[in-house]
Structure 1
Amino acid sequence: MHFYTYDGSFEGLLTVVFEAYERKEWPTQIGREGEAPPGIFAKHHFVPTQEDKAKRVWEGLGKKLSKAAWENVYKAYLWEQPGFEMLIFQFVRLVFSSKQDGIEENFTESCVQKMAAVGKQMFREKHRMEAFIRFQRTEDGLFIAPIRPDFNVLPLVVSHFEKRYADQHWLIYDVRRQYGAYYDLQSVQIVSLEEAPLSLRKGQLSPEILTSVEPLYQQLWQAYFDHVNIPERKNQKLHLRHMPKRYWKYLTEKKPRMQAHQPIQNKQVPTIVPRLKA
């Protein structure tokens, strides 16, 4: 058994792929640095991230896959569910071993089926985030929106909001993963919050930091929501299907709680990950 570990980054995972081919030792499990080997007889090998090796793997995939299937590899990384590293490795190995193009349409392969299913899940979650994100304006003019998606779709929705709100400073903050995307009218930066208080980690904004008219805007939106609602056509089952309860906490029309924000500190942005279109 060969147990490969990496630093948790997308580039690091691609480096694992390169290293496995270089060593000709296929992993039976891939995990993040610090995870315990799956058994006492497993051979543990930590792979440090190397940008040049990751880039070669990524560009090689781009030559053999359609654009959608190529992007799905990155989406599978953002999926974050147990076993996603091995799913990606199995799919990548299948791609590189195939002498023909269009391997992503060979649904007789279980990893191809799974990758397609993951792509659909990520698309659905991305679409919901684009629809359900609600901003609140602070006194310093920053629009903040907390989110808690099931999957790590924040990198996928950035382009949508960068185009839609190009004239505003905004921060979309993932309270589950404790990082956000900050737009400064020029570009989007991946950020973390220094010493974020418990209230922020729970996705709340305190009323003291909000602009004085923010409660009025929220009341207007709630009034509009109530006005367009037709009680006679109420379909709770359909409503929950399109707007699951797990998203209600951050929806103005569902009366979300207030939250707080802290100073922003830049983090390094992945260098080879593509900017996916909205």
Structure 2
Amino acid sequence: MLIFRYDDTFEGLLTAVFDAFSLKKWPDQVMSMKDVVPLFTREEYTVFTDDKKAKRVSIAMKKRLPTIALNQLTYVWYSELAERGQLIFRYLVKVFQTKHDISTNFADPDVLLVKQIAKKVSRERHYMMMFVRFNTIQNQGEKVYFATVDPRYNVLPFVVDFFKDRFADQKWAIFDTKRQFGYYFDLEQLEIITLDSQQDLLIDDAINEQYLSEDEKQFQKLWFRYCQALTIKERLNPKLQRQFMPKRFWKHLPETWHNKLNH
């Protein structure tokens, strides 16, 4: 069994594709450095990330694949699934070994799987645009709109431009509590942020209430009561509600905080 090991970066994966064709070696598995090598491994090849090699593969991909297929591969990478590296590697080997476009050959299991994973990641991206809720907090004397998210896939990089355009006149931040990073917009630029472990802004991945402005607390209660007033009990359909608004997002939505705001 031949194993290629890379540094778990996209550039490293593209370098692995380049090296495979250069060496004419086709690995049985492509694994990141942090993965445990299986028993009875016959040969192990370490891929050293090379930006020049990665760029050549990237350019070739853009020549051989339509934009939709390139986007699908990007989504697969950001899915963070354990098999993403192996899947993308096999897909790209087929791309460069075949003269015609393989991206619509859904009889191929790898092509079909790429499409299926990309669809799930794309759906999660849309969920983020629908279900992000900002809270007004006081940060060093100034008002900032702050939201926490914990998406199933790493989709925050795909939605920040949407919020930048939509809320161009406000200072805001979105923080991914699962991956411990976020983005802050200061009316001019977007920057990646992290939170110091000593900070108490978040408690159990939720915003510490002591940082919420009084207006924010009042608006949350008003919004909850407004949604309750609009509800027609006879037409409640919890199953349909969960279908359109998955329950895993409810902790971010004030209109669902029955125990917290119903007083």
Same fold? TM cut 0.5: yes
Q: 1:90 maps to what in 2?
A: 90
Q: Which amino acid letter does the alignment assign opposite residue 82 of structure 2?
A: P
| 2:256 aligned with 1:239 | no
Q: 1:112 maps to what in 2?
A: 111
Offset of residue 201 of structure 1: 7.0
Contact map agreement 1:10 1:74 (CA 8 A) in 2:
no
Offset of residue 47 of structure 1: 2.2
Offset of residue 257 of structure 1: 10
- C-alpha separation in 2, matches of 1:156 and 1:257: 33
Offset of residue 206 of structure 1: 1.2
- Higher Cα Rg, which structure: 2
* RMSD over aligned Cα atoms: 2.2
1:13-68 Cα shifts (integer Å, max 9, x gaps): 22222222222222222222232212242423332332222222122111111111
Runs of 4+ in 1 over 6 A off after TM superposition: none
Q: 1:265 maps to what in 2?
A: none
More contact order relative to length (CA 8 Å, sep ≥ 6): 1
Q: Which amino acid letter does the alignment assign opposite residue 190 of structure 1?
A: I
Contact map agreement 1:132 1:247 (CA 8 A) in 2:
yes
- C-alpha separation in 1, matches of 2:107 and 2:210: 57
Give the 5 Å matches for 1:152-167: 152-167=154-169
State the secondary structure of the residue aligned to 1:172.
strand
Change beyond 3 A, Cα 1:51–1:190: farther
- C-alpha separation in 2, matches of 1:198 and 1:42: 50
Offset of residue 6 of structure 1: 2.4
| 2:20 aligned with 1:23 | no
Contact map agreement 2:201 2:211 (CA 8 A) in 1:
no
Contact map agreement 2:145 2:171 (CA 8 A) in 1:
yes
Change beyond 3 A, Cα 1:42–1:210: farther
- C-alpha separation in 1, matches of 2:63 and 2:258: 46
Q: Which amino acid letter does the alignment assign opposite residue 225 of structure 1?
A: C
Q: 1:276 maps to what in 2?
A: none
Give the 5 Å matches for 1:187-226: 187-195=189-197, 200=202, 202-226=204-228
- C-alpha separation in 2, matches of 1:196 and 1:93: 46
The aligned length equals 257
Contact map agreement 2:200 2:208 (CA 8 A) in 1:
no
Offset of residue 153 of structure 1: 1.0
Change beyond 3 A, Cα 1:15–1:198: farther
Unaligned runs of 5+ in 2: none
Q: Which amino acid letter does the alignment assign opposite residue 120 of structure 2?
A: Q
Q: 1:37 maps to what in 2?
A: 37
- C-alpha separation in 2, matches of 1:79 and 1:161: 21
Change beyond 3 A, Cα 1:84–1:134: same
Q: Which amino acid letter does the alignment assign opposite residue 67 of structure 1?
A: T
Q: Which amino acid letter does the alignment assign opposite residue 31 of structure 2?
A: G
Contact map agreement 1:12 1:49 (CA 8 A) in 2:
yes
Change beyond 3 A, Cα 1:234–1:110: same
Contact map agreement 1:62 1:70 (CA 8 A) in 2:
yes
Change beyond 3 A, Cα 1:142–1:19: farther
State the secondary structure of the residue aligned to 1:44.
strand
Percent of residue pairs bearing the same amino acid type: 36
Q: 2:120 maps to what in 1?
A: 121
1:152-181 Cα shifts (integer Å, max 9, x gaps): 111111121111111122221111111112
- C-alpha separation in 2, matches of 1:208 and 1:41: 55
Q: Which amino acid letter does the alignment assign opposite residue 94 of structure 1?
A: K
1:200-228 Cα shifts (integer Å, max 9, x gaps): 37321112222221101211221232233
Q: 1:133 maps to what in 2?
A: 132
State the secondary structure of the residue aligned to 1:223.
helix
Change beyond 3 A, Cα 1:212–1:49: farther
Change beyond 3 A, Cα 1:257–1:112: farther
> What TM-score do you get using the length of structure 1 for normalisation?
0.85
Q: Which shifted more, 47-56 or 235-244?
A: 47-56
